[in-house]
Amino acid sequence: MSHTPVAQSLVSVRPLLVFSPTPIPDLSAARLRSDGWEPSWVSTEQDLEWQLRHNSLHTVLVYLDGEEKSLRQMEAVFCRSAAHAQLVAIVHRDSLRNPRLRRFVAQCCFDYHTFPLQLPRLFYSLGHAYGVATIANGSADPHPVDSLMGASKAMLELFRQVHRTAAVDAPVLITGETGTGKELTALAIHEHSRRAGQPFVALNCGAIPEQLMQSELFGHEKGAFTGAHERKIGKIEAAAGGTLFLDEIGDLPFPMQVNLLRFLQEQQFERVGATQSLRSDVRIVAATHVDLEAAVKAGTFREDLYYRINVLRLQVPALREREGDVPLLAQYFFQRFAHEKNPAIKGISQAALDAMSSYSWPGNVRELVNRIRRAMVMGEHAQISIDDLGIPASDLESLTRLDKAREKADRQAIIAAIHASGKNISAAARALDVTRITLYRLMEKYAIDV
């Protein structure tokens, strides 16, 4: 599989310690940064040990030259200072003849790679090592990439909007269909804002009973009501200094909308049962999949609250609008959940990828994840097939008709462009806004002979 550059700028960069006495062929800091890493380069064993002792760098890429002295120093460094780290090694294939190097790789390294480097495999290996190191050091990865991966125009535009939104502190309203990644977008805004490192607290307004919502949002004092056996800190107080994400804000009970509006205006609130007002410096990011303008007209959502939360607005695109992203996401999730799959399954068939690219994905990325994971467990052949995905037969029939219609239209457009250019392939390619190589490939595909 060729490596497609993926825009992952919404995800906070992952720190990576790179030990390399000499430059690593085919790998640079810029290339690592393009895949979401922030590398710290060291060239001596002393600097390596200092970094391991004084910084929380849990993922380490080491370039081993196979020399005995260097290997002994590396063994000593990692025995003393890197019990918390996951190592990924790069070695020359000939160096693997050295028994000491083989032992070091086997005993100390999470994975290793030889030249010529296969960058997609290396980046996947580093990402896996990062996840293992993060869990081993007592926390889950707070930066899920999932639906915020993408190279489509729609996602690149969303990335740009998130960066602009993160630079200020005004309330944000995120809209989009269910399953598109609205909470991940909110998290990305938080992680790129001045509040990064402070709490990110999420509350689903549609999942809390109305009678409990005030306590959930503002907290309560001990004895405030039956069952209040101790003081409870609400979400607004817990998010102090950080971001409060209010998911499905359209489901917020009408009486609570008044209380939330008051907090947004005054930055003050009271716990249930309290007599003293408290302040909390919180940025509000809200999300909804319903039409709030229509809710305002229907009288179920306060107009003044709507204008308070809708200062900045982002629309997360549906998966069907993200041209070219489906195969990318499918391959990513296949790798991510590889530990769950039937051992017999080695990949995804091209026919399945084509079907997924044409499917409308009403459940968006969430549906894609579910279908991929199910196919990886239930599939019985070497490659995931269309049948394994469980896409309804009626949708497959419509996809077949749509594909045929597209092929016919493409073929007619290519023939027309070639004749209009006087059979000048370069001119025809320019008219079609494709490269000459792509045009030749399409001509071969559709059996077009000039």
Q: What is the CATH number of the domain that holds 345?
A: 1.10.8.60
Q: Is residue 10 predicted with pLDDT exceeding 60? A: no
Q: Is residue 174 domain-shared with residue 310, that is, in the same domain? A: yes
Structure-block tokens of residue 94: 């000939």
C-alpha 345/C-alpha 54 separation (Å) is: 43
Alpha-carbon separation of residue 52 from 45, 60, 230, 427 (angstroms): 11, 9, 43, 57
Q: Is residue 88 predicted with pLDDT exceeding 60? A: yes
Alpha-carbon separation of residue 49 from 38, 44, 166 (angstroms): 19, 9, 36
Q: What is the pLDDT of residue 185?
A: 93
3-class SS shares of the chain: helix, strand, coil, % to 5: 50, 15, 35
Q: Is residue 56 domain-shared with residue 74, that is, in the same domain? A: yes
**Around Cβ 131, how many Cβ atoms within 10 Å?**
16
Estimate to the nearest angstrom the gap between the alpha carbon of 139 and the chain centroid: 18
Q: Is residue 90 domain-shared with residue 217, that is, in the same domain? A: no
Q: Is residue 4 predicted with pLDDT exceeding 70? A: no
pLDDT digits (tens, 9 = 90+) for 403-417: 666 677 788 888 888
Q: What is the pLDDT of residue 401?
A: 56
Q: Is residue 357 predicted with pLDDT exceeding 80? A: yes
pTM score = 0.59
**Around Cβ 409, how many Cβ atoms within 10 Å?**
10
Domains in the chain: how many in total? 4
Task: Among 108, 136, 164, identify where a domain stops.
Answer: 136
Instruction: Specify if 241 maps to a domain.
Output: yes
Instruction: Specify if 8 maps to a domain.
Output: no
- pLDDT tier at 248 (50, 70, 90 boundaries)? very high
Instruction: Specify if 3 maps to a domain.
Output: no
Q: Is residue 164 domain-shared with residue 218, that is, in the same domain? A: yes
Q: Is residue 343 domain-shared with residue 224, that is, in the same domain? A: no
- pLDDT tier at 139 (50, 70, 90 boundaries)? very low
- pLDDT tier at 399 (50, 70, 90 boundaries)? low
Q: Is residue 385 domain-shared with residue 274, that is, in the same domain? A: no
Q: Is residue 159 domain-shared with residue 274, that is, in the same domain? A: yes
Query: pLDDT above 90 covers what percent of the chain?
Result: 25
Q: Report the pLDDT averaged over residues 61-82.
A: 71
Q: Is residue 197 domain-shared with residue 171, that is, in the same domain? A: yes
Q: What is the pLDDT of residue 106?
A: 78
What is the residue type of 405?
A: A
Q: Are 219 and 271 in contact (CB under 8 A)?
A: yes
Nearest to 316, CA basis, from 144, 162, 169, 145: 162
Q: Report the pLDDT averaged over residues 170-184.
A: 93
Alpha-carbon separation of residue 365 from 40, 198, 332, 398, 448 (angstroms): 34, 28, 12, 21, 37
Q: Are 123 and 336 in contact (CB under 8 A)?
A: no
Q: Is residue 270 predicted with pLDDT exceeding 70? A: yes
pLDDT digits (tens, 9 = 90+) for 274-332: 778 888 899 999 999 989 999 999 999 999 999 999 999 999 999 999 988 888 888 88
Pairing outcome for strands 232-233 and 219-220: antiparallel
Domain region containing 278: 148-315
The DSSP string of 49-78 is: HHHHHHS---EEEEEE---HHHHHHHHHHH
- pLDDT tier at 23 (50, 70, 90 boundaries)? confident
